[in-house]
Structure 1
């Protein structure tokens, strides 16, 4: 099974809930922002796809076994567009800027990391509907450079899909930062992005995802990665990493 790196015109936003909001309250507000965004004519014309991924607890027990801490309330959004010209057209539209300005009452931009991505894809099975999705957001520990973090994640990813359970995946990729739209996102009011890597994996059925997590070698590799990144339940390290199973909602699809 070969892997590829695809350069899409896309960016992701990782949005953390402020302390005064529950996960449910934050997801409701984030969902309303997304609905307002996709309703704009300039977005309908220039955006190809918008997905929002919110947390669920379907894999909570399995993540606990690995030693993963309970995830902070987080929503992930994925935006895809044809070119920077399309992005420019959206960012210059006063209506879109107004939507983002109105989101500041709950820190939608303030607590976010947004960046353009190069997508390293290990598995992509077409025409399969995901029954389970897991998102991992990994920040660099002090002893890792950004390049070392990327290399570490890719090595673990390759090792996992080299196991006997590789055919259980329907999609498996790593989203790595580039600076293609940093200037544009800063202009939209997002803070400078923190160095991190996002992993997204999907299976057709929930039982397939559970089987992957229960595989002995996958469990060993995952625990090793969690230990190396200082990302575990008994860690004293301050980390913004999180891992969760999620519900994916496609809010716009113009493909």
Structure 2
């Protein structure tokens, strides 16, 4: 998988509990993000904090591919200089941060989450172009594949997609693969052991560009074949958990 490793990060993928609407869950997650950002230990040790939530801009395209309707999901992405920011500074052991997360249990923020450190492999990066539209794809590992096999297969698929004539419509295209670098920290913070899954992030400057990407014949073919192979199709006999949605990205910290 030819690619470039990006900055160190960990992400939390948080699904809404059954008793909360998407809007209510996103509001609570946003308030939690504000409480995290207000902590000095976070301001000192994070380079970037993003909160990623769903919108409906690309729903019709997801439906055509055969993907199920996405469950209400919020993703938090935390970027840091090195593990020293978590180890020596003990950011994730900070009592104030722990208290904030404990208070989030009233809406199941940790209970229904998967959190892990990620190696981010960037396939396309267009300097100086601001993302107007972002699509997040989250795929759980089906039982017939190991996490490494799934990552390898999706890396190959992304290489094929990035090689198409539509390449200039991407402003960013990356794959986030799990590693265990901060598992002990996150589990000490109250997160369950992470489920094996992968995340892809696609960005374009304009909505029309993103639609062109999804409508491109070869990319559509590759996506449909993968969705069937990995049992992500909504009509599969035993569908693997998947989630794909256009996203609103709110940057809470940017210390670059």
Q: TM-score range by the shorter chain?
A: over 0.9
Deviation of residue 237 (structure 1)? Answer: 2.0
Deviation of residue 144 (structure 1)? Answer: 1.2
Q: Residue 14 of structure 2 aligns with which residue? A: 15
Higher mean displacement: 233-242 or 16-25: 233-242
Question: Contact between 1:91 and 1:184, CA under 8 Å: does it hold in 2?
Answer: yes
- Please list, as runs of the form range in 1=range in 2, the aligned pairs for 1:1-255 lying within 5 A after superposition: 3-6=2-5, 8-88=7-87, 89-255=90-256
With structure 2 as the length reference, what TM-score do the two structures score? 0.96
Question: Contact between 1:5 and 1:120, CA under 8 Å: does it hold in 2?
Answer: yes
Distance between the aligned counterparts of 2:203 and 2:235, measured in 1? 28
Q: Structure 1 unaligned runs (5+)?
A: none
Q: Structure 2 unaligned runs (5+)?
A: none
Distance between the aligned counterparts of 1:239 and 1:103, measured in 2? 28
Distance between the aligned counterparts of 1:29 and 1:14, measured in 2? 14
Distance between the aligned counterparts of 1:94 and 1:61, measured in 2? 44
Distance between the aligned counterparts of 1:238 and 1:113, measured in 2? 19
Deviation of residue 238 (structure 1)? Answer: 4.6
CA RMSD of aligned residues (A): 1.3
Question: Contact between 1:146 and 1:195, CA under 8 Å: does it hold in 2?
Answer: yes
Question: Contact between 2:93 and 2:185, CA under 8 Å: does it hold in 1?
Answer: no
Number of aligned positions between the proteins: 254
Deviation of residue 4 (structure 1)? Answer: 2.5
SS of 1:127's partner is coil
Higher mean displacement: 8-17 or 219-228: 8-17
Question: Contact between 1:8 and 1:117, CA under 8 Å: does it hold in 2?
Answer: no
